[in-house]
Structure 1
Amino acid sequence: MPLTDPIPLAQDLIRCPSVTPADHGALDVVQRFLESLGFQCSRLVFGPDEWRVDNLFAMKGGGASPHFMYCGHTDVVPPGDPAHWTDDPFSGVVREGWLYGRGSNDMKGGVASFLAGLKDYIAAHPDHPGTISVLITGDEEARSVDGVARVMPWLAERDLVPDMALVGEPSSARNVGDVIRIGRRGSLTARITVQGKQGHSAMPARADNPVHRLMAALTPLLAAPLDQGTEFFPPSTLQITGFDVGNTAANVIPATARAMLNIRFNDLHTRASLIERLNAALTAAGCRYEMQADSNADPFLTEPGPFVDALQRAIRRTTGEEPELNAGGGTSDARFIRAFCPVAEFGDIGATGHQVDERAGVENLRTLSRVYTAILEECLA
């Protein structure tokens, strides 16, 4: 067990029902803990009146290099119907070696583990070199507009950009320490409306079926993989996430057909090249169409180097694991940091986030806490 047990702190955080953008005292828990360690804390509130987001930036060391920043979030997704849960979603119950509650896995348990590991590091290294900072946002699970995306420019304006940043999202696969994420795929969402000509299903020659044209455009896009992946990135994927014609009559060819799709893409593609690919497929199928394409993230990669090497050493000597380096998964707040400094992600096993009866292994969180102490030792050496 680490010197400081992260479990009571994680329970305090879980008991704050901080569904985005509400905070309900979660950042107060973090701020009190950090102030007790000598951190100077700033609360940064962004967003419109109907969606006010509270963020916390804390720093110890005045900005001197090396500057290590930990980034996490205390907002959570809604729990759904509490009746489906074994216990109250915000109870923080410990049972049979598991800590239960919304956010236990994603990612209040990880935040608590870092804070506990940080306390142990400072106790062992009261005159540590450099600077340690902590950025905790309340806007990761929803819009991701008024959280880290706003705080990083705020730091840049004050010359407080860190030399390296670690996002504590659950990254491990089977054992704590077996994966470090050194990048993320991009995400592109397309909403397509194909126009046809309504008619009787018994006389298709007098109509133009937009469903058939849309299917003809989508079928080749699904038939072959976008790519085979790269050294660190998995293959890109295209998923149809919606299909609708708004038609309740079986004998009517509809006038319009709509589809929604999401592409998670690696660094072999850009949002522009993917939009061009979609346009080409729709044109080849003879579609008269409109398409709205939005992307909230581009792929990025933190090349292996001194920072990633330090993370690997810390994990290896604490857990015995040889961490795999990859850029899988969805998106995270790392996408807002990567333009400012090298960033990687490391945290708990990402198994139950957003699920009913979300839970984190008690011993996993304690192991994670020890690893975070070792990471600080390696990165601030």
Structure 2
Amino acid sequence: MSASDPVANLQTLIRCPSVTPAEGGALSTLEAMLVPLGFAVERIVASEPGMPDIENLYARLGTDGPHLMFAGHTDVVPPGDETSWRHPPFAAEIDAGELFGRGAVDMKGGIACFVAAVARHIEEHDPPKGSISFLITGDEEGPAVNGTEKLLKWAAEKGERWDACLVGEPTNPDVLGDMIKIGRRGSVSGKVTVFGVQGHAAYPHLADNPVRSLLPLAAALMDEPFDTGTPEFPASNLEVTSIDVGNPATNVIPAKAGFAFNIRFNDTWTAETLKAEIIRRLDKAATASPLRPGRAPARYEIVWAERPSHVFLTRNNGLIASLSGAVEEVTGRVPALSTTGGTSDARFIKDYCPVVEFGLVGQTMHMVDERVALADLETLTQIYGTFLSRWFDNALLS
């Protein structure tokens, strides 16, 4: 079977139940597609104490520069209640012009289309005068510890160097051709614990209710805007995502209370300067709480999540222009250049080469009945193929 058919490629990949951390046969399937095209394929297992081992794949076609990387993941989120699906989540069935299955959009569809685009490029033009590599992880939907970050380090240590990267995540909100991601906001998470003195609710003077401190501390983080945004990024935004007192008794003042938060931040900040601002706000609120007049400053501690995601913006005009031009040529749409949305593995790749993201329409990702239009698979394959030609032509001239 030719790898130039994105629908067949995707059906084969979806039928591999590769729910994180299981490989599920997906990397073996991808290897079987790439080897006949001339790729040298390596499978790397990454480990970390206390976490499951993750199998990853690196494949390269060519030995010279310029070198273009395509990055993505074959792992998928759980399907949830499989009886709620119109078609079984790993059957890859087609219905009314749509292909159903977990990972159809996020992001086996992007991988299937890029493989098809490379296969067609080789059939029509021979291999490019340079190199193409696939960097594919099985740990993007999980903790992302044993995936792309370690795979990049392994490849770089053996001498791999890249000139640019395209990540095939679903980036389009409504229609294929809407949006290219040229950067991502940073992300910092933390948990605040406020300490009080347990006591009877009828005798509050003998206790110290931590909830009275928690509320102004949480408000201090959400109230005043952190910034107004930049030309490339929206305003930074903090959300309190959980409040927990853990107190089953309504007549007992608890000894402690806590809340968790996450902030998505723009390039006004670094993770370090943002942490300092959050602590400044907490300290100020702890000493001036209107809910506990006459009391000493509130006692709290903050524990930061171990792995903040750093903000980045790609400024490589050649890469962006090659992809934007390909999208416009195939679809007639001029894609918006965006930094919205959550984090992706591009946050690791940006330390090695310029990176952009473009893939399918993301409306059904992670949902029951995740699906993709067959027409979009063909269109994305054409966009990727046009991008390949444009990027290598530009890179060889520069």
**Shorter chain as normaliser: what TM range?**
over 0.9
How far apart are 1:48 and its partner, in Å?
4.6
Equivalent residue number for residue 360 of structure 2? 348
Distance in 2 (CA, whole Å) between partners of 1:134 and 1:36 is 14
Equivalent residue number for residue 54 of structure 2? 53
Distance in 2 (CA, whole Å) between partners of 1:366 and 1:224 is 47
Equivalent residue number for residue 358 of structure 1? 370
Distance in 2 (CA, whole Å) between partners of 1:264 and 1:306 is 28
Aligned residue runs from structure 1 range 4-19, under 5 A? 4-19=4-19
1:338-362 per-position Cα deviation (integer Å, ceiling 9, x unaligned) = 1111011011111111111111121
Select between 198-207 and 168-177 the one with higher mean Cα deviation.
198-207
Runs of 4+ aligned residues of structure 1 deviating over 6 Å after TM superposition are none
Equivalent residue number for residue 259 of structure 1? 259
Aligned AA for 1:244?
Answer: D
How far apart are 1:115 and its partner, in Å?
0.8
- Equivalenced residue count is 379
Equivalent residue number for residue 149 of structure 2? 149
The answer to whether the 8 A contact 1:4-1:119 is kept is: yes
The answer to whether the 8 A contact 1:214-1:282 is kept is: no
Equivalent residue number for residue 345 of structure 2? 333
2:304 to 279, 286, 293: 293
How far apart are 1:282 and its partner, in Å?
2.3
The answer to whether the 8 A contact 2:245-2:257 is kept is: yes
The answer to whether the 8 A contact 1:218-1:281 is kept is: no
How far apart are 1:200 and its partner, in Å?
2.3
How far apart are 1:220 and its partner, in Å?
2.8
1:156-202 per-position Cα deviation (integer Å, ceiling 9, x unaligned) = 22222210000000011221122111111111111111001122223
The answer to whether the 8 A contact 1:214-1:285 is kept is: no
Equivalent residue number for residue 97 of structure 2? 97
Distance in 2 (CA, whole Å) between partners of 1:336 and 1:353 is 22
How far apart are 1:45 and its partner, in Å?
1.2
How far apart are 1:304 and its partner, in Å?
4.5
Distance in 1 (CA, whole Å) between partners of 2:128 and 2:246 is 64
How far apart are 1:127 and its partner, in Å?
4.5
Distance in 1 (CA, whole Å) between partners of 2:348 and 2:19 is 21
Distance in 2 (CA, whole Å) between partners of 1:279 and 1:58 is 45
How far apart are 1:221 and its partner, in Å?
2.1
How far apart are 1:266 and its partner, in Å?
1.2
Equivalent residue number for residue 128 of structure 2? 128
Aligned AA for 1:182?
Answer: I
**Is it true that 1:314 corresponds to 2:326 in the alignment?**
yes
**Is it true that 1:379 corresponds to 2:391 in the alignment?**
yes
Distance in 1 (CA, whole Å) between partners of 2:377 and 2:273 is 41
Aligned residue runs from structure 1 range 1-381, under 5 A? 4-48=4-48, 51-62=52-63, 64-286=64-286, 287-294=298-305, 295-381=307-393
How far apart are 1:84 and its partner, in Å?
2.2
**TM norm structure 2:** 0.92
The answer to whether the 8 A contact 2:188-2:264 is kept is: yes
Judged with a 3 Å threshold, the aligned counterparts in structure 2 of structure 1 residues 304 and 127 are, in CA distance, closer, same or farther, namely: closer
Unmatched segments (≥5 aa) in structure 1: none
Q: Percent identity?
A: 45
